[in-house]
A and B are shown apart, each in its own frame.
Chain A
Amino acid sequence: EADIYQTPRYLVIGTGKKITLECSQTMGHDKMYWYQQDPGMELHLIHYSYGVNSTEKGDLSSESTVSRIRTEHFPLTLESARPSHTSQYLCASSEGGGYTFGSGTRLTVV
């Protein structure tokens, strides 16, 4: 049973469009994360947050931005999408131990 939700599951958009990928969790976790996953399988951390009004950049440089205004919500925004942003985006949350992942958003920029 999923306690962390990502929408949309699939998104195809044109170059230059602004998009927001949604991530919400109902577990009250303080810590939330965004990963980018390419076909090579590896998980690349692009953003994380340890609580409301706290956001940090991850290990992989990304042109996306995030916000954390509410504990349960951690949206990711691309101001101007490019084909190089085509990827799978995974959101996760935790309360100190392992992570709970959402099902991901498959983004294709044409």
Chain B
Amino acid sequence: GENVEQHPSTLSVQEGDSAVIKCTYSDSASNYFPWYKQELGKGPQLIIDIRSNVGEKKDQRIAVTLNKTAKHFSLHITETQPEDSAVYFCAAKLMNYGGATNKLIFGTGTLLAVQP
């Protein structure tokens, strides 16, 4: 089955700097890679996702890159702000359309602290 590893487990950056969180997956059949942000006292919220037919996707200050050959994907946050401080989770799954149902496999989480 799928296994997702996430690094680092904690990350501290200065406000305005960039932050990068990396994940690797084991199942080459996986084709859907979402990222979630969990703020204190809340449930994880989807912030960006990427499918295996593209190598990069951007949404304002966040971007995700995917390297299918190496089986890794990364979250990039530029110009970090204190409100970016949260726990971030990566995940992977094989998304079948009309076929079998597969569950998302989550990474272990990264606690990002943005220092003002």
Among B22-30, B60-68, B77-85, B100-108, the stretch that binds chain A is: B100-108
How many residues of chain B have a CB within 8 Å of chain A?
A: 24
Output the nearest chain A residue to B96 by Cβ-Cβ distance: A96
Main secondary structure of the interface of B (DSSP, over half): loop
Number of A-B contacts (CB under 8 A): 52
Query: A70 vs B96: C-alpha distance in the bound complex, in angstroms?
Result: 25
Does residue A74 face the partner (Cβ distance < 8 Å to B)? Answer: no
CB under 8 Å from chain B, chain A span 70-102 = 90, 92, 94, 96-102
* A43 interfacial by beta-carbon distance below 8 Å: yes
> 1/0 contact trace for B71-102 toward A, CB 8 Å?
00000000000000001010100011100010
B43 with A97: CB separation less than 8 A: no
Additional A-B contacts beyond A41-B87, A42-B106, A92-B43 (7; CB < 8 A) = A6-B43, A41-B109, A43-B109, A48-B103, A90-B44, A99-B104, A104-B41
Jot down 28 A-B pairs with beta carbons below 8 A, ordered by A. Answer: A6-B43, A33-B103, A41-B9, A41-B108, A41-B109, A42-B108, A43-B109, A45-B103, A48-B103, A50-B101, A90-B44, A96-B95, A96-B96, A96-B97, A97-B32, A98-B32, A98-B91, A98-B104, A99-B46, A99-B104, A100-B46, A101-B36, A101-B44, A103-B41, A103-B42, A104-B41, A104-B42, A104-B43
Q: Taking beta carbons and an 8 Å cutoff, which residues of B are in contact with A?
A: 9, 32, 34, 36, 41-46, 49, 87, 89, 91, 95-97, 101, 103-104, 106, 108-109, 111
